[in-house]
């Protein structure tokens, strides 16, 4: 089935913004999407796959190695010449086995010739791209640990009976889940750069618009995709330009101070929040095509960057989003 065009997704602006920011600057560290079922979380994440600018990767390399990877992992990534390919988007199913995730003995070759060879898993496939896990809060603990480990180190290490493989595995983790069905461990949550909350749109007009678009898509997927292709292409160009602009952008002293003050005011734990806030503001500025990072960018991204890092205060049932908005109102007016 054709993917639903990203630009045809109605509303859900925060989620779309966060996904695009992660596309511009993968080092932000992933996006966690919280929300009820049937709110279009998966649709948006999967739609993202369709509009990422292509990358250069070694031909025939199962890891999609870049030039740098070839230099760093000479044995693994080969010396193939560079060709254009799409950014990988790996949809990891719940209940994936450890073997499938990290890779395992190549069964075919082991059986055929008694040869010991490594068959790359999902982590290898996701290198330089996106790893999407729906209902990540229901994922088994040992897999979560494994993902965290690889996400943090950017490399997957497999050691088993002389099957010793180290390969690059840098990916943007996109998780989605419904907090009502089980909480995410704080360690995992903290790893995510951005987190967004998605609700079913309550506005009747918006809901009608969504029904209409989905029905159109259902009836004529090709025509529908063609109609939105222009819009999608614009977004793709925005992402590509943002990526190119990113290294040139630097956040000024004033924005740095704003970020520090905001983190202090809302009680966001750790330095990670501050760093992510800065990076995300920078990526947003790049995405917007702005000349420099301003307070406006900071404000636009702060809820996504900090929401999941606030210390929980059981006596204050005010939502994290409200606390951040309030703090921003007090600080920045």
Determine, following the binding rule CB under 8 A, whether residue 250 of this chain makes contact with another protein: no
Residue among 155, 216, 231, 288 that touches another protein (CB under 8 A): 216
Under DSSP, the state recorded for 331 is: H
Interaction pattern, residues 281-320, with another protein; x per rule: CB under 8 A: ---------------------------------xx-x---
105 binds another protein (CB under 8 A): yes
Instruction: Judge contact between 226 and 4, C-beta under 8 A.
Output: no
What 3-state class would DSSP assign to 196? strand
Closest contact distance (angstroms) between CB of 275 and another protein is 29
Angle at 73 between CA 166 and CA 79, to 5 degrees: 130
Q: Rule CB under 8 A: is residue 237 a binding residue for another protein?
A: no
Report, in Å, the least distance between residue 69 CB and another protein.
28
**Are 32 and 303 contacting, i.e. CB atoms less than 8 angstroms apart?**
no
Output the six-digit token pair for 90: 């790996």
DSSP states of 61-95? -TT---HHHHHHSHHHH--PPEEEEPPPEEEEPTT
Should residue 145 be labelled a site residue for another protein when binding is judged by CB under 8 A? no
Cα–Cα distance between 295 and 251 in angstroms, integer? 10
* 95-129 exposure pattern, b = at least 16 Cβ within 10 A, e = fewer: eeeeeebbbbbbeeeeeeeeeeebbbbbbbbbbbb
Look up residue 218 and give its two tokens.
């259902």
Quick check: 222 binds another protein (CB under 8 A)? no
Determine the Cα–Cα distance for residues 26 and 47; give it in Å rounded to an integer.
Answer: 17
Tell me, rounded to whole angstroms, the distance of Cα 73 from its chain centroid. 25
Distance between CA atoms of 37 and 116, rounded to whole angstroms?
Answer: 43
Which residue in the set 205, 222, 248, 333 belongs to the binding site for another protein (CB under 8 A)? 205
Span near another protein by CB under 8 A; candidates 23-31, 52-60, 74-82, 87-95: 87-95
Token pair 């050691």 is found at 159
Q: Distance (Å, rounded) from C-alpha 239 to C-alpha 126?
A: 19
Residues in CB range of 149: below 8 A, 6 or more apart = none
Catalytic annotation, pick one of 272, 279, 282, 326 = 272
Token pair 């025939």 in the structure block, residue: 60
Under rule CB under 8 A, residue 211 binds another protein: yes
Using CB under 8 A, count the residues that bind another protein.
Answer: 59
Q: Is 272 a catalytic residue?
A: yes
**Residue number, 93 or 289, with CB nearest to another protein:** 93
Q: Does 203 bind another protein (CB under 8 A)?
A: yes
What is the length of the chain? 333
Q: How far is the CB of 188 from another protein (least distance, A)?
A: 13
Q: Does 97 bind another protein (CB under 8 A)?
A: yes
The nearest distance, CB 236 to another protein, in angstroms, is 23
Q: How far apart are CA 135 and CA 271, in angstroms?
A: 28
Counting contacts by CB under 8 A, is residue 110 touching another protein? yes
Contacts (CB under 8 A) with another protein, residues 28-57: 36-40, 42, 46
Counting contacts by CB under 8 A, is residue 135 touching another protein? Answer: yes
Establish if 146 lies at the interface with another protein (CB under 8 A): no
Check residue 120 for interaction with another protein (CB under 8 A): no
Residues annotated as part of the active site: 272
Q: Which residues of the chain form contacts with another protein (CB under 8 A)?
A: 1, 36-40, 42, 46, 91, 93-98, 100, 105, 107-108, 110-116, 134-135, 137-138, 141-142, 160-161, 178, 180-183, 199-205, 207-208, 210-212, 214-216, 218-219, 314-315, 317
């Amino acid at each position: 089935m054709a993917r639903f065009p990203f630009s045809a997704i109605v509303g859900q602006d925060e989620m779309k913004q966060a996904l695009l920011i992660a596309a511009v600057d993968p080092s932000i560290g992933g996006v966690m999407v919280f929300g009820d079922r049937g709110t279009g979380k998966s649709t948006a994440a999967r739609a993202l796959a369709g509009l990422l600018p292509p990358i250069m990767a070694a031909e025939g390399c199962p890891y999609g190695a870049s030039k740098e990877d070839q230099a760093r992992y000479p044995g693994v990534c080969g010396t193939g010449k560079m060709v254009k390919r799409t950014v990988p988007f790996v949809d990891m199913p719940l209940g994936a086995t450890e073997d499938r995730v990290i890779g395992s003995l190549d069964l075919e070759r082991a059986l055929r010739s008694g040869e010991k060879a490594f068959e790359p898993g999902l982590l290898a496939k996701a290198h330089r791209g996106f790893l999407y896990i729906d209902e990540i809060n229901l994922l088994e603990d040992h897999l979560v640990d494994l993902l965290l480990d690889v996400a943090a180190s950017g490399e997957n290490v497999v050691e088993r009976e002389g099957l010793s493989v180290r390969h690059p595995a840098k990916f943007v983790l996109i998780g989605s889940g419904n907090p009502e069905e089980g909480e995410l461990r704080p360690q995992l949550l903290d790893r995510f750069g951005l987190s967004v909350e998605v609700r079913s749109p309550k506005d009747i007009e918006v809901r009608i618009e969504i029904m209409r678009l989905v029905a159109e898509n259902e009836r004529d997927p090709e025509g529908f995709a063609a109609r939105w292709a222009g819009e999608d292409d614009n977004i793709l160009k925005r992402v590509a330009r943002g990526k190119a602009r990113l290294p040139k952008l630097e956040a000024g002293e004033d924005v740095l101070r704003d970020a520090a003050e905001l983190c202090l005011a809302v009680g966001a734990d750790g330095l990670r929040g501050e760093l992510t806030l800065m990076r995300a503001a920078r990526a947003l500025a790049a995405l917007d095509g702005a000349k420099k990072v301003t307070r406006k960018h900071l404000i636009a991204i702060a809820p996504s960057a900090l929401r999941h890092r606030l210390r929980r205060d059981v006596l204050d049932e005010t939502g994290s989003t409200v606390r951040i908005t309030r703090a921003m109102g007090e600080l920045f007016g």
